[in-house]
Structure 1
Amino acid sequence: MALPRDLIDIRTIYHEPAITAFARGREILDRFPEADRIPVPSHWNIPSLHGNSGSVEDWVRIKRSTLVLGVKKGLTMRPNGRSAHFIAPSTSNGCAMACAYCYVPRRKGFANPISLFVNIEAVCAAIRRHAGRQGPLPEPDSIDPEFHVYDIGENGDLSVDAMIGDNVRDLVALFRDIPNAKGSFATKAVNRDLLAYEPRGKTRIRFSLMPERIARIVDVRTSPIAERIAAIDDFVAAGYEVHVNFSPVILYEGWEADWRALFAEIDDSLSDAAKAQLKCEIILLTHNAALHEVNLGWHPKAEDLLWRPDIQEGKRSEGGGENLRYRSGWKGRWLARFQALLAERMPYCTVRYAF
């Protein structure tokens, strides 16, 4: 796929020296022959990117023009039990898009462009071994009726990663051939190259959706909501299982009317085949105090929606960060109201997970 220059125009590649020992590393370097190459000891240790508050002013430029290449060290699977049964080792970290609520920059620093890991064979082998030890899914559950599901895109957006290299193609092919497992990832981008990957029902794509007028503020550099909705039928026809993530659900004056209109748009757009297999996740916004400060440096308008201490309360995260979520008690009522609105217009859309 020709890279959309407004999204990705790689001019600088930071890379661990070891990446040239891997075919995927050499392939990606060859794809960007004019990019400056800067060796670094670790994809986690790039002072000019990570933790450099001065990068806030160049947030979008860095995401568009910078790529990091490394070797994935940890290959363990983490139990999940919500969106997936297991979280697979990430083949990427960071993103070319710039959603204002994204949690990844909280861990990796201010700029957080795409980091791709080139030892894809090791990642695929680890997943295959792990799935082989699981045996059949003991019984149907809210995650899947038949397969163990592995989230393969926890820290990035694989639709965009696939514009740079073939890791995503390899992962789709991997799950196609594992008898008891399925891959899954969420995306805010429409990359129609994925339609040719032949998933044969073994990869679940979850298109993240929210009202368009809010997405224009907080879903920065992503595919328009209407384009994501329009892609669902095509991805189902291509052999993907396609679900939707209503995420994050942001509360503001008029949110109910906006979501009701979105449900109507989805319902009016989808084929019967897409509706028959459609399920969803619902995730209310969790924000972060440190990210709030970062956003004030590059996109303060988003914080008018995301930072609402009048209806939010603090919660210390497992990693020690100060998060904000909608106040308990009220959150449950708002979530119930959201689900009622969904059921009114899209009763066929089963809620797999709501939080």
Structure 2
Amino acid sequence: MTATPLAERLLDITRIYHEPGIERSPRAAEVLARFPDAERIEVPSHQAIPGLYGNAGNIADWVRIKQRVLVLGEKKSLTARRNERSSDWIAPSTANGCAMACAYCYVPRRKGYANPITVFTNIDAIVGYLERHAARQGVKPEPNQCDPADWVYDIGENGDCSVDAMVSDNVADLVDLFARLPNAKASFATKFVNPDLLTYQPRGGTRIRFSLMPGETSRLVDIRTSKVADRIAALDDFVDAGYEVHLNFSPVIVHENWLADWAELLEQIADTTSERTRRQLAAEVIFLTHNEGLHDINLGWHPKAEDLLWRPDLQQPKRSQNGQLNVRYRTGWKGRWVQQLTDLVAEKLPQCRIRYAF
């Protein structure tokens, strides 16, 4: 497998914002050496960059900022949060933000109008914390929906590790860590096929969840991601390389022909993957939740996506804990649609168990 043209154009870093003294970090020095011609701008904090975050004028430069800007800083608070859905724990981030531009992504709601990759350079502290945290957990006492034997740590909550690996060796260090931990495994979802990950040695300690949706829908809302067909074609390679490979059917976007499109996708997976891959598959099914603020942002740079994502005729509002207005598919209807899709998976891809669906 070779690098795709997408990988060549996804990042063209011309400006790096960094915290004071960041060059003293070996990881920061490595990243800076990868982009020697980039302009370097010192800022007080990776969370406070004047003119970048919270600037509504940046909507017009949404994709350009993702492509050309990188931020370096330290992760100040190292904590693992309980999750108990996709993973047992959410690990401290080694990066956030993304070079891709999925129209439904929730991360821009937090950063506000700009969402480039931020690399956390204190990787040794993060790896040490995770190793100690896993040791404190001991043996997992009983199976759960996360994993039957291992404590599962999500290492990519606020970004895409396959893209992060193009910028720094943080992901490689995490894969190495979980390859040697006897009671824990890493997990991350991705929409990008990075062949460099096939050179790592995961030894079953990392679970990659390839996010999939019907190709026609993906072309409209999965901006700057690998094609769905390329993600499916990579499944066997990653299993052969020693990864546990799961599927992330997310977000499920309802429209007039959605179920027929999903039937075609599931048949494609069944027809093009090996028996070995299919035997170890498991999937999460997550229906779309959208957000009023993100809807407004998308109208400024990609309004066509909102024809699918913002459907008041199918959705109902729900106020989040932080006061934002989210929209979800209507109660009653959504339950029937979840059942229809899980029944379809059982029919078209019977070896793939559903870990959870909502």
Answering whether residue 303 of structure 2 is matched by residue 300 of structure 1, we say yes
Q: CA deviation at 1:56?
A: 0.5
Q: Aligned residue for 1:157?
A: 160
Q: Distance in 1 between matches of 2:356 and 2:119?
A: 29
Q: CA deviation at 1:32?
A: 0.8
Q: Aligned residue for 1:135?
A: 138
Out of 126, 129, 140, which is 2:129 matched to? 126
Q: Structure 1: which amino acid aligns with 2:106?
A: Y
Q: CA deviation at 1:26?
A: 0.6
State the secondary structure of the residue aligned to 2:301.
coil
Out of 183, 188, 200, which is 2:186 matched to? 183
Asked if the contact 1:79/1:87 (under 8 Å) is kept, the reply is yes
Q: Distance in 1 between matches of 2:323 and 2:127?
A: 32
Answering whether residue 289 of structure 2 is matched by residue 286 of structure 1, we say yes
Give the total of aligned pairs.
Answer: 355
Q: Aligned residue for 2:344?
A: 341
Q: Deviations over 1:97-126 (max 9, x none)?
A: 000000000001112111110001111111
Answering whether residue 112 of structure 2 is matched by residue 109 of structure 1, we say yes
Q: Distance in 2 between matches of 1:269 and 1:90?
A: 34
* Residues 8-157 of structure 1: pairs in structure 2 closer than 5 A: 8-157=11-160
Q: Aligned residue for 2:245?
A: 242
Out of 308, 327, 331, which is 2:330 matched to? 327
Q: Percent identity?
A: 63
Q: Deviations over 1:223-282 (max 9, x none)?
A: 000000000000000000000000000000100110000000000011011011000000
Q: Aligned residue for 1:197?
A: 200
Q: Distance in 2 between matches of 1:161 and 1:100?
A: 19
State the secondary structure of the residue aligned to 1:204.
strand
Q: Distance in 2 between matches of 1:21 and 1:323?
A: 42
Please tell me the root mean square deviation across aligned C-alpha atoms, in Å.
Answer: 1.1
Q: Distance in 2 between matches of 1:53 and 1:5?
A: 29
Q: Distance in 2 between matches of 1:154 and 1:300?
A: 26
Q: Distance in 2 between matches of 1:220 and 1:248?
A: 14
State the secondary structure of the residue aligned to 2:210.
strand
Q: Distance in 1 between matches of 2:356 and 2:49?
A: 37
Q: Deviations over 1:45-97 (max 9, x none)?
A: 11211111111001111110110111001110000000000000011110000
Q: TM-score, normalised by structure 2?
A: 0.98
State the secondary structure of the residue aligned to 1:297.
helix
Q: Distance in 1 between matches of 2:88 and 2:22?
A: 30
Q: CA deviation at 1:319?
A: 2.6
Q: Structure 2: which amino acid aligns with 1:223?
A: S
State the secondary structure of the residue aligned to 2:7.
coil
Q: CA deviation at 1:339?
A: 0.5
Q: Distance in 1 between matches of 2:272 and 2:119?
A: 34
Q: Distance in 2 between matches of 1:287 and 1:40?
A: 32
Q: Distance in 1 between matches of 2:83 and 2:220?
A: 30
Asked if the contact 1:18/1:71 (under 8 Å) is kept, the reply is no
Q: CA deviation at 1:39?
A: 0.5
Q: Structure 1: which amino acid aligns with 2:40?
A: R
Asked if the contact 1:51/1:109 (under 8 Å) is kept, the reply is yes
Q: Distance in 1 between matches of 2:60 and 2:106?
A: 19
Q: CA deviation at 1:18?
A: 3.3
Q: Distance in 2 between matches of 1:19 and 1:283?
A: 39
Q: Aligned residue for 1:215?
A: 218
Q: CA deviation at 1:320?
A: 2.3
Answering whether residue 264 of structure 2 is matched by residue 264 of structure 1, we say no
Q: CA deviation at 1:352?
A: 0.5
Q: Distance in 2 between matches of 1:216 and 1:47?
A: 33
Q: Distance in 1 between matches of 2:36 and 2:42?
A: 15
Q: Distance in 2 between matches of 1:213 and 1:47?
A: 38
Q: CA deviation at 1:19?
A: 1.9
Q: Distance in 2 between matches of 1:27 and 1:301?
A: 39
Q: Distance in 1 between matches of 2:21 and 2:213?
A: 41
Q: CA deviation at 1:353?
A: 1.5
